[in-house]
A and B are shown apart, each in its own frame.
Chain A
Amino acid sequence: MERHFQRDLEHLKSNVIKMGSMVEQNLTDALEAVLKNDAVLASKVISSDGKINQFEIEIDNGVVDLLALQQPVASDLRLILAIQKINNDLERIGDHAVNIAESAFRLVETPQDEPLLEIPNMSNIAKEMFQQALDAFIHLNAQLAQSVLESDDRIDALNRGMNAQVVRMIKKDPKSIEGGLELLRISRNLERVADLTTNIAEEVIFHTQARIVKHHAAEEKQKQ
């Protein structure tokens, strides 16, 4: 006999997936706005963030109801706890997409002869990571989630490289200072997106394998 609790839990999960798709769209649009100097697309991202925030509240309420009324245990409990954190991560990623869209706006207003340096590269990696993390959640695929964790180092390295590249760019052409600072902002936002995406992947592993991987928890415990 299927419990109505299972249907409620599926509904909650599908809401997270819907929210994830909205965040993915906003992230993609924000980066597209940067790459193509598209102010219209940037303003679309900014205006649709409210819907994501609404979703966050709805999912929060769903989590509280299921915890309070259904007393979930084991994998059901882990899924609900994972959803609560993923919900938070998604909302934050949505905020970073807005930050990137705001940078895109400012870049449209500044002279456009400076190169975007590593931004296109970082964008591709961050988008791919996000898609994989969401897929891993949809299909509860811990292996896929694991591969997201491994991509995070690439973004971190590129972000660190951006500092030196922007400094060089500004030294070469002091007029590029505004654009250069904007690129650093975007880079930092992408680095945060990748971190939050990593959190989502960690939550998928927690739910599917009951294993805590954040902060390299297993290795730390072994050391002790």
Chain B
Amino acid sequence: MNELKTKIRVENFNFYYDKKHALKNISMNVPEHRVTALIGPSGCGKSTFLRSLNRMNDLIEHTRCDGTVVVDNVNIYDEAIDVVELRKKVGMIFQRSNPFPKSIYDNVAYGPRINNIKEKKQLDEIVERSLIRAALWDEVKDDLSKSGLALSGGQQQRLCIARAVAVDPEILLMDEPASALDPLATTKIEELIHELKEKYTIVIVTHNMQQAARVSDFTAFFYMGEQIEFDETKKIFTMPGKKQTEDYITGRFG
């Protein structure tokens, strides 16, 4: 674990929804170019933690946080941070695929256009490259003008991944990216995650423990707002250090 470079360093991070203390003193080093999975029962704080990594929780009223989240030596909760720039660097994929009601091309070109890339040739290149990275290009290259909403669920999710990578992020946050998909589409997304880690650092929330086992290199187990255990996925799923982790992953919880 020592030789890996830390991409996100979280220290003593607390998060509150009004009076509810949702994340309690979380510290974690998320390694670069690895997949880190966050697991735990509903309400354990894993999604809150994920959204804290690109300040998506800022959009929710009556919330506050303290502690630090450092991405590449910059505290993202620093007042001087441009949140739009942050979210460019730290992209997000949601549980339900949410393509814009636009063509496949325009979905992927959306972010780059906002970032003032106007030249057609350059946009074409970005769209192609992003769709290739999202393992969707071969299926859609003949009809990029088709609506994104006309794609299958699994394809829509990969379109959202293409849209996220089109703005050249360094980190991808995924919130249950395959939970609405059938097993084959899920396998495709999981394989894609495995390939994407070469270029990006990935943090994924999943209810599906087997999925965490299959796709991740590191796993954090959250329970009632606390991080119970964080270690190599191999270790968590073969020799967990804490009894609570053991009970959760073996289904003996509660």
Task: Give A residues with C-beta under 8 Å from B.
Answer: 1-5, 64-65, 68-71
Instruction: State which of B26-34, B51-59, B83-91, B230-238 sits at the interface with chain A.
Output: B230-238
CB pair A68 B187 closer than 8 Å: no
Say whether B194 faces chain A, with CB atoms less than 8 Å apart: yes
Q: Which of B191, B213, B233, B237 contacts A4 (CB 8 A)?
A: B191
Give the residues in chain A near B238, CB-CB below 8 Å.
64-65, 68
Interface residues in B202-233 by Cβ distance below 8 A to A read 210, 213-214, 233
- Alpha-carbon distance between A4 and B196 when the two chains are bound, in angstroms: 13
CB pair A71 B213 closer than 8 Å: yes
- The interface residues of chain B, by DSSP majority, are classed as helix
**Given A1-B187, A5-B214, A71-B213, 9 other A-B contacts at CB below 8 A?**
A3-B187, A3-B191, A4-B191, A65-B234, A68-B234, A69-B213, A69-B233, A70-B213, A70-B214
Q: Given A4-B194, A5-B214, are A69 and B188 neighbors across the interface (CB < 8 Å)? A: no
Give the residues in chain A near B187, CB-CB below 8 Å.
1, 3
Chain B residue, CB-CB nearest to A65: B234
Give the residues in chain A near B237, CB-CB below 8 Å.
68-69
Q: Nearest Cβ in chain B — how far from A52, in angstroms?
A: 24
Give the residues in chain A near B188, CB-CB below 8 Å.
1
- The interface residues of chain A, by DSSP majority, are classed as helix
Tell me the total A-B contact number using a CB cutoff of 8 A: 28
Give the residue among A1, A2, A5, A65 with the most B Cβ atoms within 10 A: A1
- Alpha-carbon distance between A111 and B210 when the two chains are bound, in angstroms: 64
> 28 interchain pairs (CB within 8 A)?
A1-B135, A1-B187, A1-B188, A1-B191, A2-B191, A3-B187, A3-B190, A3-B191, A4-B191, A4-B194, A5-B214, A64-B238, A65-B234, A65-B238, A68-B213, A68-B234, A68-B237, A68-B238, A69-B213, A69-B214, A69-B233, A69-B234, A69-B237, A70-B213, A70-B214, A71-B210, A71-B213, A71-B214
Chain B residue, CB-CB nearest to A71: B210
Chain B residue, CB-CB nearest to A64: B238
Chain A residue, CB-CB nearest to B238: A68
- Alpha-carbon distance between A186 and B234 when the two chains are bound, in angstroms: 42
Give the residues in chain B near A68, CB-CB below 8 Å.
213, 234, 237-238
- Alpha-carbon distance between A133 and B116 when the two chains are bound, in angstroms: 65
Interface membership of chain B positions 16-36, coded 1 if the CB is closer than 8 angstroms to chain A and 0 otherwise: 000000000000000000000
List the 3 closest A-B pairs by CB distance, nearest first: A69-B213, A68-B237, A68-B238
Give the residues in chain B near A71, CB-CB below 8 Å.
210, 213-214
Give the residues in chain B near A1, CB-CB below 8 Å.
135, 187-188, 191
Chain A residue, CB-CB nearest to B216: A69
Give the residues in chain A near B210, CB-CB below 8 Å.
71
- Alpha-carbon distance between A1 and B210 when the two chains are bound, in angstroms: 19
- Alpha-carbon distance between A68 and B191 when the two chains are bound, in angstroms: 18
Chain A residue, CB-CB nearest to B211: A71
- Alpha-carbon distance between A71 and B191 when the two chains are bound, in angstroms: 15
Q: Nearest Cβ in chain A — how far from B181, in angstroms?
A: 14
Chain A residue, CB-CB nearest to B234: A65
Chain B residue, CB-CB nearest to A69: B213
Q: Nearest Cβ in chain B — how far from A84, in angstroms?
A: 14
Interface residues in B70-102 by Cβ distance below 8 A to A read none
Give the residue among A3, A64, A69, A71 with the most B Cβ atoms within 10 A: A69
